Amino acid sequence: MPKLPESTRSEALQAGLFILALILGITFIAARGDTPLDSQVILTNVDPNGNGKSTFTVFYHLPKQAEVGTTLTVPIKLYVANLTGLMSFLQDYTVTVSLRLSNGRSVSGQAGINATQAAENLGAGQLHAGQEWGPANITIPLTQTNTGVGPGQQALGNATMRVDADVWFNQPINFFRPEGNQSGIGYVLISNGTPSGPEPNYPGIALLGFGLILFVVSLVTGRRTPSSRGGEDDRAKSAPGSV
């Protein structure tokens, strides 16, 4: 087989390295457990006295399943989409995630900024329209006692997210008023034992990447250059016995 030009071999090597980097990059991200905030809920509060309306958007990721003996983690980010009327800013706020289990039990966790923290650090405390807080993690420890899920059992949890905040009202009120609202955000299966669904086979994915590299290289190296094909055609066209 004729030797490939240097440029062709270089292209094959670059293609193989690109595929390897892509697959290993995806594998590394999956193994590291990064959790993008892939869902959101919008909560709106209307002041009963007609002095304004607040709109919050919470970005979050809710796992589909969790196991007793671990901690359920829900990453969130709170964004103040709008404050109207006399509403000026949020002084302190709390985001709570609660699970009402199918067996009658309830578990919850929360994260936020309290009034003391807001007073000590205004930059981290007060939130005006267009500002956000987070990302932060809401953690819910899952035990056999608080979930009531025994060995070999499971329960479906109806998840609810609630935002409570103290909102500052401008003159003539010049005072804080509590605002709060909640919404359902999905379901989590709580099991006492290994959750269903196998873990991704990361070594297998890496081996697949190497296999794809070899496949690409074999395709490129298996091709013959135009000059070699031309030489063969010329010889085939020569008359029998000719030199």
Residue range of the domain that includes 162 = 36-191
Calculate mean pLDDT across residues 115-119.
76
Mean pLDDT of the chain: 80
Neighbours of 209 (CB within 10 A): 18
Q: Is residue 218 part of a domain?
A: no
Question: How would you classify the pairing of strands 53-60 and 39-46?
Answer: antiparallel
Task: CATH number of the domain at 55, please.
Answer: 2.60.40
CA-wise closest residue to 88 among 121, 133, 50, 51:
51
Q: Identify the pLDDT of residue 83.
A: 97
CA 82/CA 56 separation, integer angstroms: 7
> Do 174 and 72 share a structural domain?
yes
The residue that leads in pLDDT, 10 or 84, is 84
Q: Identify the pLDDT of residue 29.
A: 43
Q: How many domains does the chain have?
A: 2
> Do 45 and 27 share a structural domain?
no
Find residue 83's DSSP bridge partners: 54
Answer whether 0.85 is exceeded by the pTM: no
SS3 state of residue 146: helix
Q: Is residue 49 part of a domain?
A: yes
pLDDT tens, residue by residue, 22-34: 554 544 444 444 6
Q: Is residue 229 part of a domain?
A: no
> Do 24 and 115 share a structural domain?
no
> Do 124 and 11 share a structural domain?
no
CA 28/CA 46 separation, integer angstroms: 45
For the chain, what is the total number of helices (H) and then of strands (E)?
Answer: 6, 9
Instruction: Please give the single-letter amino acid code of residue 110.
Output: Q
Q: Is residue 209 part of a domain?
A: no
